[in-house]
Amino acid sequence: MNEQELRQAMSAIEAYKAQLEAVNEQSQLLQMSLEDHSRAKDTLEAVAKGRPGEEVLMPIGGGAFVYAAIAKTDRALVGVGSGVSIDRPMEEAIAAVNARIGELMDALKKVGESGTVLEAKIEQLTQAVEQEYQRMRKGQK
């Protein structure tokens, strides 16, 4: 490895580290969305078991809850994308949220695999650069 190749390897390591940081941020966002969907599923299931008029604690995010009365236990509004929600039977609403949880888990797995690949590339390239530095030092002595 000559000096030019060594500089290129160092630049590649920095680029991989930036990519890894982006992958880690994406993983955190997916994890937060997964937790949000899991809370939604739990809430839908709790409402489905309730009775109209029954008082429940409804999560509103940020670890906060409000007291609410159940109006219907057989239907719920479910987001379908682009800010659009559809009124669906409760079973379908729960199934839709479950499907989204599955998609998020798959995405989280793929992002995790990407992170592992990047970490391996960083480690491999770092070792090669360190070995080359050692070889160059020995050559100067």
Q: Is residue 130 part of a domain?
A: yes
Residue bearing the bigger pLDDT, 59 or 45 = 45
Q: What is the pTM of this model?
A: 0.81
Q: Is residue 76 part of a domain?
A: no
CA 18 – CA 127 distance, rounded (Å): 18
Q: Is residue 133 part of a domain?
A: yes
Q: Is residue 66 part of a domain?
A: no
CA 133 – CA 140 distance, rounded (Å): 11
Q: Is residue 64 part of a domain?
A: no
Q: Is residue 34 part of a domain?
A: yes
Q: Is residue 30 part of a domain?
A: yes
CA 15 – CA 25 distance, rounded (Å): 16
Using DSSP, state whether 141 is helix, strand or coil.
coil
Cα dist. 117→86, 110, 129 in Å? 40, 11, 18
pLDDT digits (tens, 9 = 90+) for 47-84: 999 999 999 888 888 889 999 999 999 999 999 889 99
Domain containing 21 — which CATH number? 1.10.287.370
